[in-house]
Chain A
């Protein structure tokens, strides 16, 4: 072998090594997940699902921190201050995390972190008691338009998902958000109770919240707010009924704003692999969640759009802060 050839081969080999090295340094081996909710909450369940699925993908060192309170803002605040430069840290969020700062003055908002990927969620559904007078969705809206105060709409916290969802429906029907007689509840258990004892004319929530009652024939669905019909639910979509509303209670993850693109992309890859994994798909089907995967750019656009729409409605309801 001549000297030049040897040099060439060595340089080539060196070149390969150099090219391989950075990508090895980017493999994520551990994950630190901050959850803006207590154990058992919706965001916590999402985080545990992520944890479970990622373990089967070989990432064993996963830590989940629950930081409940303040509508999720305490967790975000803590994340921003303590996870600077942390290439393995993500924070979970959901629709509620976006809506909360719109109705309350908080020191931080979702804009202080970098949304990375939307993962899964559930579409909102509308249900009534099995023996309710309300026959179907059209009947509901007719009654609403005739006497808005007579329809009690049951849902979660004020200013959050169902509040905004119902307001959107009202607007499409030509009414104003303020005409919706929204009955807030602190948790889904109470929403179901309000449906079952009849004090709420209709209720809104995720399909999983009502599934037990639907199967027991105590509640029936009027409509679902998804792009296509939901498997296992025999209700028309709002789009089919002429109401162009798609509304989901979604979950996603964000990273710290201080990360450079390479680190952020490394984490994004982890989640890209996650949503393709068989175990994740099993978790989704077990829990009745839907795959709502979006990568960084579309996710951030989605959040911006949701925020804008919600802000409009919340302002009309008189619930928005400056």
Chain B
């Protein structure tokens, strides 16, 4: 199988797997409510079936398509994707503990690094400034609570 067909085939297979998983999971959903003819499980079953079918057709049509019809595959660099992903996941994990400023600055630095800007230190400064401005405007100005993390005691004042 040429590299051209690989993405489509993988995608289709993943969709089929997802569809089957959905149908299996749907069997757990409780049904049998009065007046609710359709019930909460029918739609998710239909969706599972739809996913499975469209996944199968995806795979088939990818195999059958002539090579010109398939999109060109640019070369993919996966390390920037990994870097940004790690930054986002780190953000999710640490945002309530460390607060908005450090994690968001990290995301900014990771993002710019992933796009080729290696000046980590100056980007870190930019990131911190950006995050701080946002925090000031939103939390103190507009009342949307962005987590302060260890800064909390400073801002809270007396309890």
Residue numbers of A with Cβ under 8 A of B are 30, 61, 65-66, 86, 88, 149, 178-179, 181-182, 318
Contacts and interface: CB of A to CB of B under 8 A. Distances in A.
Contacts of A66: 145
Given A61-B157, A179-B34, 4 more contacts: A30-B158, A88-B159, A149-B35, A318-B33
A24 to B, nearest CB: 15
A152 to B, nearest CB: 9
Contact of B159 (A30, A178, A181, A182): A30
Task: Identify whether the interface residues of B are mostly helix, strand, loop, or mixed.
Answer: loop
B141 interface: no
Contacts of A179: 34
* A-B complex: 9 closest residue pairs judged by Cβ atoms: A178-B34, A181-B35, A88-B159, A65-B145, A318-B33, A149-B35, A30-B159, A318-B32, A179-B34
A62 B144 CA distance: 15
Interface residues of B, number: 9
Interface string B21-39: 0000000001011110000
Contacts of B33: 318
13 contacts: A30-B158, A61-B157, A61-B158, A65-B145, A86-B159, A149-B35, A178-B34, A179-B34, A181-B34, A181-B35, A318-B30, A318-B32, A318-B33
A65 B32 CA distance: 39
Contacts of A318: 30, 32-33
A179 B34 CA distance: 7
B34 to A, nearest CB: 5
Contacts of A149: 35
Contacts of A61: 157-158
A86 B35 CA distance: 48
B36 to A, nearest CB: 10
A38 to B, nearest CB: 11
Nearest to A78: B96
A182 to B, nearest CB: 8
Contacts of A88: 159
B33 to A, nearest CB: 7
Interface centre among B34, B145, B159 (most CB of A within 10 A): B34
A66 B144 CA distance: 9
A228 B158 CA distance: 45
Contacts of B32: 318
